[in-house]
Amino acid sequence: MSLIIFFISVILFLIGYIFYGRFLNKLYNLNPNNKTPAFKKYDGIDYIPAKNWLVLFGHHFSSIAGAGPIIGPVIASVLWGWLPSILWIILGSIFIGGVHDFSSLFISVREDGKSIGEISGLVISKRTKVLFSLFVFLALILVVSVFNYLCAETFINQPKIILPSLGLIPVALIVGYLLYKLKANSFLVTIFGIVCLFCLIILGDNFSIKLPINFWIFILFVYCYLASVLPVNILLQPRDYISSFLLFFGIILGFIGLVFSSPKINLEPIITFKADGQYLWPFMFITIACGAISGFHSLIASGTTSKQIANEAHIKRIGYGGMLLEGVLASLAVISVSVLSKDVISLKNPISLFSKGYGIINSKILSNNLSEFIAIVILNAFILTTLDTATRISRYLFEELFKIKNRYVSTFVVVILSALLLITGKWNKLWQLFGASNQLVAGLVMFVISCWLIKNKRNIKIVFIPAIFMFITTIFTIFLKMIEYFKNKDFLFIVAFILILLALFMIYEVFKKLRCPN
């Protein structure tokens, strides 16, 4: 049963990529002869054409994946059941998330690599640009805070992953130097990076480092700072690229494991429509943050990917294909937790649940301990990719908002604000607010895309209808969380209130523009 569910999911994603992806190509009229921003605005720091599209795909995919498509689907499946979770992942990825990612990357490329915030100012109003950028900046501070704590906590609970996680940083520096300074063969450099990565995994399995969580939080913020200020092709891009092979390996290994073991599904298809006082709608749709749609993806697409893409023909592969592959990962996460027994599920730690379920899936080909260790390494590698990319994009936004062109100062402000927010609560306290704000960004981005399409005389239905659904779902969720925080006298009440206020002001500007497009 588990193999059949995963197989059907993969087939549906392939059908979506071939047919709906082809439809999007025609709608946007991609032109491989157009000169991309990476060449037009080359600066050696942010605007740099990727060595090839696979390198950029690896960077983009690692950045968008993070921990979201694993942790969110695991939590949602345990609370509401595997069936609604996997249906939302499949349908959401193909018809909403993939469209959102494809469109964000396309319009940013056509607008010379401008961020979605800047584009909102061009197609709606300057006030919208300010409101949207403030909203996104606040949402990104949430992202950096949540994933910093998640990564540091994983270092404490699983000290064996520290060496492969942090050891990949110097490997990435070497890979970047070989690719861009020495112009070495991409295939050979990739093999070198992958071999180093798996050597680090073997070393990590034999050596563990035990230090306090506050130390790791500090170290992770230092890493974020460096990843933000260094040229993108020196650390950020090569680290994400090599990390992507971990995820490819993890998905392939999971599929092989399912073929050989095909474990029984123990989780009920639909558990309840109200879990822990939270209804399936709207909470499931924002708990599966990144698994079906993510506003964070548009920030990566327009923040870093559009500045590195070498050909418009690669937009479908990277934008739409990246989202659908993330859907495959989210589906694997749902199946991993679904094969667990009820006594294990009662632990309710999403990272542990995923690793234990992944261990069961691969029990016929690997020992449970090794399989669980690989799962944790994969998960943590992508938490780091979310951290570094989110910090860099936050730096872009801060520079745009406050006209500060010093990347060292801008990054420092981002790191300090994220650290201050982290003091307010642990990751599980911030997760649903992060999920809601992240999905709300997606809804707002699709409204911006709709305005761009109208300006360029194109059909907006495939973007506008999902935008309305995401906006209503997420605003309602944040409103409910705001009431909860207010009752508990929680500081996050202020954060939720500001998010709602900024979103409502922006949506007013959007609809004013849609009524009078000229």
* Count of the separate structural domains present in the chain: 1
Q: For 133-152, what is each residue's pLDDT tens digit?
A: 888 888 788 888 888 888 88
Asked if 291 contacts 326 with a C-beta cutoff of 8 angstroms, the reply is yes
pLDDT in tens, 245-303: 888 888 899 899 999 988 899 999 999 998 878 889 999 998 887 889 999 899 889 98
Contact predicate 424/491, CB 8 Å: yes
Tell me which residue range forms the domain holding 295: 2-515
Angle, vertex CA 317, rays to CA 311 and CA 320, nearest 5: 120
Query: For the domain that residue 76 is a member of, what is the CATH number?
Result: 1.20.1740.10
Is 90 exceeded by the pLDDT of residue 104? yes
C-alpha angle 447-285-13 in degrees, rounded to nearest 5: 85
pLDDT tens for 471-488 read: 999 999 999 989 988 888
Cα–Cα distance, 78 to 188 (Å, whole number): 43
pTM of the entire predicted model = 0.88
Average pLDDT in the 78-86 region?
Answer: 94
- The three-state secondary structure class of 275 is strand
Place of tokens 């909403």: 96
Asked if omega into 350 is within 30° of 0 (cis), the reply is no
At 485 the pLDDT is 85
Distance linking the first and last C-alpha atoms of the chain:
55
Q: pLDDT (tens digit, 9 = 90+) per residue, 389-446?
A: 889 888 888 887 888 878 899 999 999 999 888 876 555 566 667 778 888 889 999 9
Asked whether the CA dihedral 25, 26, 31, 32 is positive or negative, the reply is positive
For residue 230 the two structure tokens come to 């260094």
pLDDT at position 130 is 86
Q: How confident is the model at residue 63 (pLDDT cuts 50, 70, 90)?
A: confident
What is the model's pLDDT at position 337? 93
Supply the pLDDT for residue 33: 92
Q: Does residue 510 register a pLDDT over 90?
A: no
Share of the chain above pLDDT 70, in %: 97
| Dist CA 226 CA 380 (whole Å) | 19
Whole-angstrom Cα Rg for the chain: 21
Write down the pLDDT at residue 376: 83
